[in-house]
Structure 1
Amino acid sequence: MGSLSIWHWLIVLVVVMLVFGTKKLGNVGSDLGKAVKGFKDGIKGEEEKTSAPATEKTTIDVDAKEKSRQ
């Protein structure tokens, strides 16, 4: 009952292709790829939003007093 051999996987692949057809499987693969890309873009956009304030340059006005030398 160990792992399945290559022949078992080929038989499963043929049965799946007979049941669903190659066109429908191609559409599922394309939709899955679009979903993964959208997820990655969403994560990247979220990271850019959180890191944007940290990367902005800010200036601080400070009046420095000079020590008088005696």
Structure 2
Amino acid sequence: MGSFSVWHWLIVLAILLLLFGRGKIPELMGDVAKGIKNFKTGMAEADSGAVSPPADRHTEEKP
């Protein structure tokens, strides 16, 4: 019940490549990176107070 050997990791890697294909894994990692970047940007905007409040829905229209 020790740690996995190199052969175990190679088999896992081969299965992942068969399931996702060669081009799919970098695409998924790029999407994860974009999500993290957007999250950090959103947190920075929230900290700086740059987020504008939503527009008031109850404004009266002038005739």
Q: Please say whether Structure 1 and Structure 2 have the same fold, judged by a TM-score greater than 0.5.
A: yes
Report the TM-score when normalising by structure 1.
0.62
Give the number of aligned pairs: 50
Partner of 1:45: 45
Residue identity matched to 2:36: V
Which structure 1 segments of 5+ residues have no match? 51-70
Q: CA RMSD in A?
A: 1.6
- TM-superposed CA distance for 1:14, in Å, is 1.1
Larger radius of gyration between Structure 1 and Structure 2: 1
Once the 2 structures are TM-superposed, how far is the Cα of residue 3 of structure 1 from its aligned partner? 1.8
Superposition misfits of 4+ residues, deviation over 3 angstroms: none
Gaps of 5+ in 2: 51-63
| Identical columns (%) | 42
Larger relative contact order, structure 1 or 2 (CA cutoff 8 Å, min sep 6): 1
TM-score (norm 2): 0.68
Q: What amino acid does structure 2 have at the position aligned with 1:46?
A: A
